[in-house]
Structure formats: structure tokens, C-alpha cells
Structure 1
Amino acid sequence: MRRLTKRQPLEVVKELDAFPKIPESYVETSSSGGGVSIFIFACIAILVVAEIYQYRSSELRYQYSVDSDMNSKLQINADITVAMQCDYIGADVLDVAGSSIPLGTDLLLTPSYFELSKAQKKWRKHILELKGVKMNYQSLNTLVTDSPKRLNLPDNPVEDDRQPDACRIHGSFHVNKVEGNFHVTVGKSIPHMRGHTHLSAFIDSKDYNFSHRIDKLSFGPEVPGLINPLDAEYQTTEANYFIYQYFIQIVPTEFATRQQKLNTNQFSFTNQKRELNHVTGSHGVPGIFFKYDLSPVKVHIREVEHPIVGLFVKLCGIIGGIFATSGILHGLVSFLFSCFHSKSESSMSEEDQLKAKAERLAAEADGN
């Protein structure tokens, strides 16, 4: 009685088994069934690995809000080389409020060479290749996380037998967070009540040459590995009186991943250039002008991870779904094959059927 009482819970659990077991004597193995099983297991393994790989990769979620931070300053990072002597040019910022911002020591003017060295040509080619890839597929997450090194232009060594023929304008400075104009033109600037004026009366127009290259131009804190639209830009002209205008639209961007969080700015630009000739009506001031404006909308980019519960649900769905589907297909194929086999047997003569039946009985007797 005690033994039966002890076995009762096991019997109850056994009766509650929702997956009844088929006796092995009822199961008939075949080569086709084994091949189908191998194919099913291969499909399950491939789909499971693909699902785990997708789970490990994260996705970016974009949100938008009004940029209410108007009291902070906008950082501009520039590295521009102009094909003129440093004594002949000046660089300044004038914003929409009429404020002239002296750059002082934040922006350096260093004598340099306009022609690129071999290392610099290699660097420029590499940047242009990356920009070509970026035009096809832009992934800020990939650029930030997979490019730990800042892609700086190699230094151009000073040559003793040749005088510098260009001026490198480089540095980082802060301006008001409003629409403005960062420009490089002839003459040093002289501040006055309404802004500033560039003194160019004592510079010969034959020395004007605003051929330039933009090695780097970005807005906001520098992001290692991030390639901006104007990086490696190269423009040349044979005319002395020439104007280059870049119209830049800046979009504040907040980027957050599992590794880091940063506030920066993305931008797009359009440009135009023309030769100045007062006789033909093409008026203006020769130089290079970067007219920038800030978008009132701020972009928030968040890296979103996939929940592990969703992974388990998908894996269960993959395994159970393949088993169920394969069982249905295998049963359907077996049914069609049996139907075809029965039709082929019915088409045989009675004598052939009796002979085939006798052969089957003989084979079963030999087996026993």
C-alpha cells in the first residue's frame, strides 16, 4: 500500500504528459527520412545563428526636438590652406547680429605649401574613398565606433630650398549660436563700430589667388573618425578676382551609444563660385566665404538593444515552426507517393499482383 502511495504522484505526472511517446516498434526509419532530418537540422542551425547575429547588432532610433539651447557657443574647427602669403590675407567671423568676433590666437596663420606631399596625397585619396562609401551608406554609429583614430592630415615638411607659397589657416574657435559668416579675404581686418574692414589697398591685385583646399571643417566637438562633407575639398583658379561661397546648414545632433555619448553637429552644404568683373556686372569681394545657418530642430540618435526575451521567443518559433512545417510537408509527400504507388499497383495484372504479394510474404518469412 505504501509503495502504491509513493508511486501515485509519479503516475499522476505521467498521465499529465502532453507529449505522448510513440513506441519504437511503430517507427520505421528510411534513408529519405534521414536526409530530410539532416536538411531540417541544417536549416535550424543556419536560422538560429542568423537570429543570434541579428540580436547582437543594435539599431539606431531617431528622434527630433526643438533645439532650445541658444545660450551656448558654437565651436568651429577649421584647417584651410590658401595659395597666398599669410601677410596678404585675414580670417574673421561676422554674425547676423552684426557682431564681429576677433579670432585672436584661436585661429593660427602658418606659412605652408599649397602643393601636397606624397603622404598628404595618399591621405586625401583615402578620405575621398571614404567619402564615396559614405555617400552610398551613411552610418554614424559605424563611423564613431569603428574609427578610434582621428584622420588628421600629415604635416608638410618645410623645404630649405623653397619658400612657402601658401598660408595654412587652422584652429578651433567659438562663435555665437546664430547665423554667421566665416570668411577669408584679402587684407588684415580692422575693427570698427559696425563690424570690421579688411585693409587691402596696399596689396597688388596680381598677388590675389584664392585657390584653396579644405583639409578639415567641422562644427561642434570633434568626433574621431567622423568625415565631414567638406573634408579634402580642393579648388583652384587662374583668375585673381574670384569668389568662393559655401552655404552651410548645420543640424545639432546628440548621439548616444553603449560606449559613449556626445553632442556634435552634422551639416550639409551647397556652393557656388564665379569670377569677379565689375565691367560685366559681376560684383563682389574676392575671397572664400562660409555662410552657415543653424537648424532649429535637434536630432537625437539612440542605440537601441534587442531584448533577450524576444530572442528566446524567435528561437522557439524558428525551431517549432520548422519541425511542424517539415512534418506537414513530409506527410504530404508520403501521401502523394503512396497514392502514386497504389495506382501503379492497380494497373498491374492480377497475376503480377499475386506474384508481388508472394514475394513480399516470402521476404517477411525470411526476415522472421
Structure 2
Amino acid sequence: MTESGMRRRAPVNAGAWGADADKPKAPIASAKVLERMDVFTKFHDEDKIQTSRGASMALFSWVLVLVLLCSEAYEAFLEHLVVDTSLGDKLNITLDMTFHALTCADVHVDAMDVAGDNQMQVEHNMLKQRLSSQGERIGFPFLEDPTDFDSKKADALVGAAPWDYCGSCFQARTHTGACCNSCQDLEQAYLTQGLPMGKIKNTAPQCLPGFQAPAPSGPMQKGEGCNLKGFMSVNKVAGNFHIAFGDSVVKDGRHIHQFIPSEAPFFNVSHTIQHVSFGDEYPGRVNPLDGKVKYVSSTVGTGLFQYFIKVIPTHYKGRAGEAIRTNRISVTERFKPLHKEGEARLTGDSHAHNDQTSVLPGVFFIYDLSPFNVEVSTVSVPFSHFLVKLCAIAGGVFSISRLLDNVFYYSGVFLGKGTGFLAGTPR
């Protein structure tokens, strides 16, 4: 440059760049090379063709991406199978079921297992609720045998009893279904049958302070129903619990039911299972027996309902570190009618006679334990995995949608329809 600001022409032999030429054009060349690596090509606005139907496809693609992303943002359950090493534990069974045609005086739960442990009438932790033939409640829930029941729970039953209340006589109950509506009635019933009162006087609702005895009411009527709700604790071995016809006794080490055979056809075991579970609840557990409804038809008659339950020990671990040792179950069921004629109608055999089989009418829950323990843990998708899925979903959806848009557009052009089959009118 001269003092006047004019550029001096470089000598001919000054080299390719000249003496005072701007030095480096290499960065410009490097930028050109870098631009060629751009895979995100741009178009001028006048080179774009935008259509309303293309916009609809883009909107649909966005919605689809959001839906797929929401489906990926979830908590999963990771399950691991190990050998069950727990020994000597108890199995807590929660039961809530309704018998539509059996009075509460006829509903008793017995439990027995392969270890030879027989538990007769294990209703001391179960509340019974009388129901009318229309399913309406009669009175309020009562305890059949409150000897081992928590007195704090029994306090919830204290109060003014309704006019149609029929207090339980517990172990002093009679076949006529007489009511013990006061503590004096209960004492008289035990005295008449020569039974010791024991702790019942301290736990029976009729004997608790504040209980108001209602006016005398009649015995339970035929046609009433009964809701049974509570829990029982049994040995953690294979066994069964059942509600069946007759009086249960243990004779010569065997669990038997004593009854009059001619009365068996009238033992209607129509029932609804509101809830049956083994152990505590945990998130995601399914109880297959919940909501099960079974009715005895007049054509087939009463019989034996059997639920074969496989109990699978389960150890649940939540995200917050909480641990729950419980069980899950799988169930199969079977019904066997009391009379051969009813069984014939189920099987289609027309040669059977109406002879009574050796079936005991009732509902049996027969359970067996799995030797394996399932460890269930809650896991969520890591954020890095979520980002990878986000890229994969967004890229895949928009690539496919753009491919389809191009196919429809150029197919329309090829067929002479101007802006394409799905392109619509250019904006």
C-alpha cells in the first residue's frame, strides 16, 4: 500500500500470491470443504412446495412421536427367579366373599394342611354380615368367635344396634339360629350348654361398655345371605380352607363333616368372591379370584366348587427401597354336581340316574406352594436410554412420513394430477 492508500500492483515475478496479497485463502477453501459435508440441505423459499395435506401429515407425525415417547416413559418390573429358602413362616390369607343363599349360621371356615394341622371354624378374625334375599344388609357385622380378636377392632362394633340386629351366641350357638342380643343372653346360652365363658365376656360386642341392646328380634331366616370378611393365618405348607355343608369334627385324626344326606341338596353355595389374596398387597399384583361369581342353577343343582391355587412366594422391592414379602397366585377351577343327573347335564350323558354322589357341597380353596421365589424390583428407564429412544422414534417417524409424502406427491405428478395425490393445493 502507498501513503495515498492506493494498492500497488505486484511485480510479475512476485510469486503466485504477490508481495502484499491477502494471505491466506486456505480458510476459505476449508470452509468450502466443510460446507460440502453438510447433510442438512437448505432450499430457498421459492423452491419449496408446501401443501395443506403435507402439513396434516407433519402434524400427525408430531402426535405419533409424542404418543410413542409417552409409552416409553414408564416403570418396568424386573423379575428374578430364585429358590425359596424361607422356613417356618406363616401364610396370611385375606378373604372377602358373599354367600347369597346361606345364613351366617351355616357359614363356617375350616382349614387343614398336609402337616396334619386342623383348624376348625377359624372365623375369630372374620366379620360376618347378614344379608337379605335382595342383598341388603341386616344389622351390622358381628364376630362368630371373638376370643382371639383384637379388642380395639371390636370397639368399632360398639354402639346402638339396629332393630333387626341378631347377636351371635358364638360357641353356644344353636341350630335354630337363636340370637344373643345382650350380655345376659350370651351368659345364659353358655350356661345352658355348660361352656366356659373365658375371654368372650371381655371381647363380645354385647358385653362391651356402651352397647345398647335392641328390642328382641327373630332368628335368622332361610333365604338370607351372608358376607364373610377377614383373614386367617395358616402354616406355610400345602393345604386347603373351605366352607362346606355339615358340622366339622376331627375323628381318629381325620377331618370329617357330619350331616344328613337328605338335606345336602338344599345347601346352596352360590357365591361371589370379592377378594382372596395370600399375603400383603404390592403395586401391580393381580388377584385372579377377585370378582368371581358362581351361581347354582336349578337344572344342575348344588355341588362342590373347587379352586386350585398355586401360591408363588414373591419378594417385592420398590424404588424407594421398601421391601414386601408376599405371594402371588394362579388359579384353576372345577365344579362337580351333587347328583349324577346334574353331572350328566354338564357332560351330555343321557344315561345317568339321579343318584347322589359322594360329593360334599361347599366351596374349597386348595392351595399349594411353589418351591421358587420371585424377586420383583421396580426399574425406570435411564435418561440416557430415553434420549436414544427419543432420537430413534423422532427420526424414524419423520423419515417414514417424509418418504410416504414423497411417494404420494410424485405418484400424483406422474399420474398428471399436478401437486400430487396427497399434496392438495399448494399454499
Both proteins in one fold, TM over 0.5: yes
Rounded Cα–Cα distance in structure 1 between residues aligned with 2:95 and 2:317: 25
Q: 1:114 to 1:290 in 2, by over 3 A?
A: farther
Instruction: Verify the 8 A CA contact 2:249 2:258 in the aligned structure 1.
Output: yes
Rounded Cα–Cα distance in structure 1 between residues aligned with 2:121 and 2:264: 28
Normalised to the residue count of structure 2, the TM-score between the two structures is 0.52
Q: Which moved more, 1:254-263 or 1:89-98?
A: 254-263
Of residues 353, 377, 381, the one that matches 1:306 is: 381
Of residues 228, 244, 257, the one that matches 1:169 is: 228
Instruction: Verify the 8 A CA contact 2:304 2:337 in the aligned structure 1.
Output: yes
Instruction: Verify the 8 A CA contact 2:90 2:234 in the aligned structure 1.
Output: yes
Note the alpha carbon deviations across 1:92-129, whole angstroms, 9 max, x for none: 1111222213454534463612534369xxxxxxxxxx
Of residues 237, 259, 269, the one that matches 2:332 is: 269
Match of 2:358 in 1: 283
Is structure 2 residue 282 aligned with structure 1 residue 219? Answer: no
Instruction: Verify the 8 A CA contact 2:286 2:328 in the aligned structure 1.
Output: no
Shift of residue 74 of structure 1? 1.6
Instruction: Verify the 8 A CA contact 1:107 1:169 in the aligned structure 2.
Output: no
Match of 2:10 in 1: none
Alignment gaps of 5+ in structure 1: 120-156, 341-368
Give 3-state SS (helix, strand or coil) of 1:311's partner: helix
Q: 1:114 to 1:212 in 2, by over 3 A?
A: farther
Give 3-state SS (helix, strand or coil) of 1:54's partner: helix
Instruction: Verify the 8 A CA contact 1:84 1:208 in the aligned structure 2.
Output: no
The AA in structure 2 aligned to 1:228 is P
Instruction: Verify the 8 A CA contact 2:243 2:362 in the aligned structure 1.
Output: yes
Normalised to the residue count of structure 1, the TM-score between the two structures is 0.58
Of residues 100, 106, 113, the one that matches 2:118 is: 100
Of residues 53, 76, 85, the one that matches 1:68 is: 85
Shift of residue 222 of structure 1? 4.4
Rounded Cα–Cα distance in structure 2 between residues aligned with 1:296 and 1:269: 19
Of residues 293, 311, 315, the one that matches 1:251 is: 311
Match of 2:95 in 1: 78
Instruction: Verify the 8 A CA contact 2:61 2:401 in the aligned structure 1.
Output: no
Rounded Cα–Cα distance in structure 2 between residues aligned with 1:85 and 1:205: 15
Give 3-state SS (helix, strand or coil) of 2:363's partner: strand
Rounded Cα–Cα distance in structure 2 between residues aligned with 1:310 and 1:59: 14
The AA in structure 2 aligned to 1:117 is G
Instruction: Verify the 8 A CA contact 1:94 1:195 in the aligned structure 2.
Output: no
Q: 1:191 to 1:92 in 2, by over 3 A?
A: same
Shift of residue 281 of structure 1? 6.2
Shift of residue 177 of structure 1? 1.9
Rounded Cα–Cα distance in structure 2 between residues aligned with 1:20 and 1:170: 69
Instruction: Verify the 8 A CA contact 2:275 2:289 in the aligned structure 1.
Output: no
Of residues 38, 62, 65, the one that matches 1:19 is: 38
Alignment gaps of 5+ in structure 2: 1-21, 138-161, 166-216, 341-352, 417-427
Instruction: Verify the 8 A CA contact 1:251 1:298 in the aligned structure 2.
Output: no
Instruction: Verify the 8 A CA contact 1:212 1:235 in the aligned structure 2.
Output: yes
Give 3-state SS (helix, strand or coil) of 2:67's partner: helix
Identical amino acids, percent of aligned pairs: 22
Match of 1:356 in 2: none
Q: 1:80 to 1:162 in 2, by over 3 A?
A: farther
Match of 2:295 in 1: 235
Q: 1:234 to 1:12 in 2, by over 3 A?
A: same
Match of 1:292 in 2: 367
Give 3-state SS (helix, strand or coil) of 2:305's partner: strand
Rounded Cα–Cα distance in structure 1 between residues aligned with 2:93 and 2:404: 65
The AA in structure 2 aligned to 1:229 is L
Note the alpha carbon deviations across 1:215-245, whole angstroms, 9 max, x for none: 3322222468955325342323669x94313
Q: Which moved more, 1:250-259 or 1:64-73?
A: 250-259
Rounded Cα–Cα distance in structure 1 between residues aligned with 2:302 and 2:404: 76
Q: 1:272 to 1:29 in 2, by over 3 A?
A: same
Q: 1:269 to 1:70 in 2, by over 3 A?
A: farther
Instruction: Verify the 8 A CA contact 1:188 1:198 in the aligned structure 2.
Output: yes
Instruction: Verify the 8 A CA contact 2:90 2:233 in the aligned structure 1.
Output: yes
Q: Which moved more, 1:51-60 or 1:220-229?
A: 220-229
Instruction: Verify the 8 A CA contact 2:104 2:130 in the aligned structure 1.
Output: no
The AA in structure 2 aligned to 1:66 is V
Q: 1:42 to 1:98 in 2, by over 3 A?
A: same
Of residues 66, 70, 88, the one that matches 1:53 is: 70
Shift of residue 172 of structure 1? 0.3
Rounded Cα–Cα distance in structure 1 between residues aligned with 2:291 and 2:400: 56
Q: 1:158 to 1:275 in 2, by over 3 A?
A: farther
Give 3-state SS (helix, strand or coil) of 1:71's partner: coil
Shift of residue 46 of structure 1? 3.2
Rounded Cα–Cα distance in structure 1 between residues aligned with 2:293 and 2:163: 23
Note the alpha carbon deviations across 1:252-291, whole angstroms, 9 max, x for none: 2445554776433222121213115899361233333222
Rounded Cα–Cα distance in structure 1 between residues aligned with 2:70 and 2:279: 35
Rounded Cα–Cα distance in structure 2 between residues aligned with 1:280 and 1:166: 28
Give 3-state SS (helix, strand or coil) of 1:29's partner: helix
Rounded Cα–Cα distance in structure 2 between residues aligned with 1:23 and 1:186: 84
Cα RMSD, aligned residues only = 5.1
